[in-house]
């Protein structure tokens, strides 16, 4: 990118962590929107909870129900985009990249370990939702999931799915300073990701 600056680390991650910290007193700062495209060619958008980064990298973790419609969207088109706005600091992050689906049938032992770790990092109340009826289908009982119980020491249930978004481009906008930065990744000779960024017009 002409006039850009290259970095082996993800410079946008520092900005995001700072935004999370400065907006931490606002409960909604942990929520972002995730957009995908379905097989009908139409976009779908929903609010998700930030579950942190994978260790020592810039990949974003998202917990979801394996039975939800977003899974079929991602199978059809693995690209997705996060839109995250911090109301106190007036910062917006649009983070796009490929999404990896890690469910119980995954054959990679390391990925299954990541899924299990994400499961136990969730609250017991959050885990219970995966025992409920299939999302999006008509309600057939007045109090769905009321009798569901879960042993806290039990590993992930089949419906629990870990999504990993691997950022490829990040569009950062700061409305207070009227500054906009565009971050784009590319593979380097050693196979690692290198980030190129530059200031662009807001």
What fold is seen in the domain 5-134+154-200? Pnp Oxidase; Chain A (2.30.110)
Q: What is the pTM of this model?
A: 0.90
Mean pLDDT, to the nearest integer, of 149-178?
94
pLDDT tens sequence across 99-115: 999 999 999 999 999 99
| The pLDDT of residue 17 is above 80 | yes
Say what the pLDDT of residue 1 is. Answer: 42
Domains of the chain by residue range: 5-134+154-200
pLDDT reported for residue 2:
44
What are the beta bridge partners of residue 170? 95, 183
Instruction: Give me the pLDDT at residue 8, please.
Output: 60
State the Cα–Cα distance between residues 13 and 60, nearest whole angstrom. Answer: 10
Best CA proximity match to 50, nearest among 118, 131, 128, 127: 118
3-state secondary structure of 189: coil
Q: Which residue has the higher pLDDT, 127 or 6?
A: 127
């Amino acid at each position: 990118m002409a006039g850009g600056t290259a970095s082996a680390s993800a410079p946008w991650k520092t900005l995001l962590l700072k935004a999370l910290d400065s907006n931490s007193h606002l409960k909604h700062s942990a929520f972002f929107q995730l957009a995908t495209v379905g097989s009908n060619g139409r976009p779908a958008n929903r609010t998700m909870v930030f579950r942190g980064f994978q260790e020592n990298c810039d990949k974003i973790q998202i917990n979801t129900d394996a039975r939800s419609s977003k899974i079929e969207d991602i199978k059809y088109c693995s690209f997705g985009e996060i839109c995250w706005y911090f109301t106190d600091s007036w910062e917006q992050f649009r983070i796009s990249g490929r999404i990896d689906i890690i469910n119980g049938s995954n054959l990679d032992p390391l990925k299954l370990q990541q899924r299990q770790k994400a499961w136990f990092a969730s609250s017991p109340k959050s885990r219970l939702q995966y025992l409920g009826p299939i999302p999006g289908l008509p309600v057939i009982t007045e109090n769905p999931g009321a009798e569901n119980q879960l042993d806290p020491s039990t590993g992930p249930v089949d419906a629990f799915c870990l999504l990993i978004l691997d950022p490829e481009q990040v569009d950062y906008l700061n409305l207070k300073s009227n500054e906009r930065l565009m971050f784009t990744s590319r593979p380097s000779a050693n196979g690692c990701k290198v980030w190129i960024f530059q200031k662009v017009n807001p």
